[in-house]
Amino acid sequence: MANNMKAASIAEIKQALENCSATKLSKLCLTLARYKKDNKEMLTYLLFEADDTDAYINNVKLAMDEQFTEINSSNLYFAKKTLRKILRITGKHIRYTASKEAEAELLIYFCHKLKSSGIPFDKSQVLVNLYQSQLKKIKTAVAGMHEDLQYDYLRELEGL
C-alpha cells in the first residue's frame, strides 16, 4: 500500500496552504520542524537569518573554519571524509539561501581553505576531482549572476 502513496504536487500543496488559518500553518510548520532536523534548520534560517544573508554567510564560514581545524591532514583517507562532510554541510546552507552569490562565496571560501590547509590534496585523485568539481560549481553559479557581480567572482576564481 505504501507504494501507492504519492506526494502532492507543489501547486496542490500551495493551494491547500493558502486555505489554512494562521494557527494551522503554525502547527504544520512545527510538525515539520519536529519531523526532521533539516526542516528545523531551514525554518530557523527562514525565520531568523534570511534577512541578513551576509551575516549568515559569515557564520557558515566560521563553522567551516572550525571544521577545517578538525581535519587530520596527515591521513588522506580521514581528510577526504572530513572534507566531504564540510562540503555536505556547506551545500545544505547554500540550498537554504537559494542564492548564487552565497553559493559562489562559500565554495570559493572552501577552495581557499583547502589550498591553505596544508593537505597534500594534489596527491589524491579523489581530492583533485573534488576540488575541480567545486570550481565547476562556482563557474556555474557565477554564470547565473548579474554581469557586475560576475566580474568580481571571476577574478577570485582566477586566484584559485
Number of domains in the chain: 2
Domain boundaries, position 33:
7-51
Q: State whether 104 and 33 are in the same domain.
A: no
Which three cell numbers, joined as nine digits, stand for 45?
534560517
Backbone angles phi, psi at 8, to 5 degrees: -70, 155
Q: Which helix (H) or strand (E) holds 50?
A: none
Q: State whether 57 and 111 are in the same domain.
A: yes
Q: Highest-confidence range of 19-28, 74-83, 140-149, by mean pLDDT? A: 19-28
Distance set, CA 6 to CA 2, 33, 38 (Å) = 9, 21, 22
Whether 112 contacts 65, CB under 8 Å: no
pLDDT band (50, 70, 90) for residue 158: confident
Backbone angles phi, psi at 108, to 5 degrees: -60, -45
Instruction: Report the pLDDT value the prediction gives residue 124, as an integer from 0 to 100.
Output: 85
Backbone angles phi, psi at 51, to 5 degrees: -75, -20
In-domain check, residue 1: no
Q: State whether 37 and 58 are in the same domain.
A: no
Distance set, CA 146 to CA 46, 101, 153, 156 (Å) = 24, 10, 11, 16
Mean pLDDT for all residues in the chain: 89
Instruction: Report the pLDDT value the prediction gives residue 160, as an integer from 0 to 100.
Output: 78
Tell me the average pLDDT across 85-99.
94
How far is residue 62's CA from residue 67's CA, in Å, rounded to a whole number?
A: 9
In-domain check, residue 2: no
Burial bucket for residue 71 (CB in 10 Å: 0-12, 13-18, 19+): buried
In-domain check, residue 69: yes
